[in-house]
Structure 1
Amino acid sequence: MTVVYWVRHGPTHEKTFVGHRDVAADLSDRAMIARVDKALPRRAVVVSSDLRRSIDTATAIGGDRPRLPHCAGLREFDFGAWDGLHFAQVAEKWPDLSRAYWETPGDVAAPDGESWNMAEARVSAEIAAVIAENPRRDIIAVAHFGAILTQVAKAAGITPYRALAHRIDNFSITEIQMRPTPGVARINHLP
């Protein structure tokens, strides 16, 4: 059985939507990085999204584990016109759309962005390809809040709305066991 250990990248300290915009992570908490590294299996392979906050976090926690190429399919949601805007700005300019985005996630998308369903399909296809290329290997996937939540929803068989109730803190580990059907072992574990 393959286990995917989803790790959310280090904090960016941004106070706005950050989707495909490439911002750095703060990796100054060396003690936390060491705890995350120690909590993850030594023989797992490491993969990350191709955004530097994930790449740099994967490098910091990866140690001597085998490293796979970066995957654009593991990126955060594409927030389109909302990327870089504060949540209050979005709610003011697009009140109905922003409310629907959070209350009825699924097919609702930001202008020029992607919906939950689009992001879930992208992330699911990418991680399935990584698993297929690394049979019987555990995988450490360093990614983003939204990307991880899409996999929680899928593995737990819950709606996107229910998945959004979960916290996914920076540096947290979310463990999904891949069986004939996936199952969630733990969510948002901070070592």
Structure 2
Amino acid sequence: MSRVFWVRHGPTHAKTMVGWSDLPADLSDTARLSRLTAFLPGDALVVSSDLSRAVTTADAISGPRQRLPHDPALREMHFGDWELKRHAEIEDQAHARRFWEQPGDIRPPGGESWHELTARVDGAVARLIAENPDADIIAVAHFGAILSQLQQALRLTPYEAFSHRIDNLSVTELHRRGTGWHAERFNHCP
């Protein structure tokens, strides 16, 4: 059995669509970080996306755990021309509505679709498990990346997956038995 403990990075406090922009995380809640560190398995490997909000969060919770190289495949969705915009600032509101209401193959201009994000993160997870077959993995990543994996574990449509919350510094624990994933817990805030 493989176990992946997905941790969403610390908050950025941005009120816009943040994908590949490298905004810092607010890690001032040291008590919450301590609880999170204590909750996670002590012998797990730690990996994060290469964006600084994930890297610094992983640094804050890794303790003596072994760190793996930062993985750009664990990044948030690429919002392209919508990056750092508020929903109301998007010129083509019909396109934006379709993107959120019919997630799948629709992508922001210059960005990626939900299916492309999911395929990217799926590939990273498969590689991490193949390279570390008997290890628990703590993956510090982003809302979309984590949600894509929860979607599979709960066997949801993309639209149904979007109804779930993944709070900053929460844990989504997924177990793989055979070829399928099971959600042990999600959006858990220790």
TM-score for both structures, normalised by structure 2: 0.98
Q: Equivalent residue for 2:95?
A: 97
Q: 2 CA distance for matches of 1:141 and 1:111?
A: 28
Among 130, 133, 142, the residue aligned to 1:132 = 130
Question: Is there any run of 5+ residues in structure 2 with no aligned partner, and where?
Answer: none
Moved >2 Å (runs of 4+): none
C-alpha distance in 1, partners of 2:100/2:17? 13
Paired AA for residue 110 in structure 1: P
TM-score by length of 1: 0.98
Counterpart CA distance in 2 for 1:89 and 1:176 is: 36
SS of residue paired to 2:55: helix
Find the aligned partners of 2:70 and 2:56 in 1 and give their Cα distance: 11
Residue 122 of structure 1 and its aligned partner are, at CA, apart by 0.1
Partner secondary structure for residue 46 of structure 2: strand
**Residues 68-79 of structure 1 aligned to structure 2 (within 5 Å):** 68-79=68-79
Partner of 1:140: helix, strand, or coil?
strand
Task: Specify the alignment match of 1:177 in structure 2.
Answer: 175
Separation in 2, partners of 1:123, 1:37: 24
Q: Residue 37 of structure 2: SS of its match in structure 1?
A: helix
Is the partner of 2:119 in helix, strand or coil? Answer: helix
Note the C-alpha offset of 1:154.
Answer: 1.4
Structure 1 distance, partners of 2:162, 2:184, is 17
- How far apart, CA to CA, are the structure 1 residues paired with 2:4 and 2:60? 18
Task: Quote the Cα distance in structure 1 between the aligned partners of 2:135 and 2:19.
Answer: 29
Deviation at 1:178, TM superposition (A): 1.1
Partner of 1:81: 81
| CA shift digits 1:91-139 (9 cap, x unpaired) | xx11111101111000010000000000000001011101111111100
- The equivalent residue for 1:115 is 113
> Structure 1 stretches of 5 or more lacking a match?
none
CA root-mean-square deviation = 0.6
**Partner amino acid for 1:184?**
A
Cα distance in 2 for residues equivalent to 1:146 and 1:86: 17
Q: 1:167 aligns with which of 148, 152, 165?
A: 165
Query: Number of residue pairs matched?
Result: 189
CA distance in 1, matches of 2:120, 2:74: 8
Inter-partner Cα distance in structure 2 for 1:130 and 1:55: 17
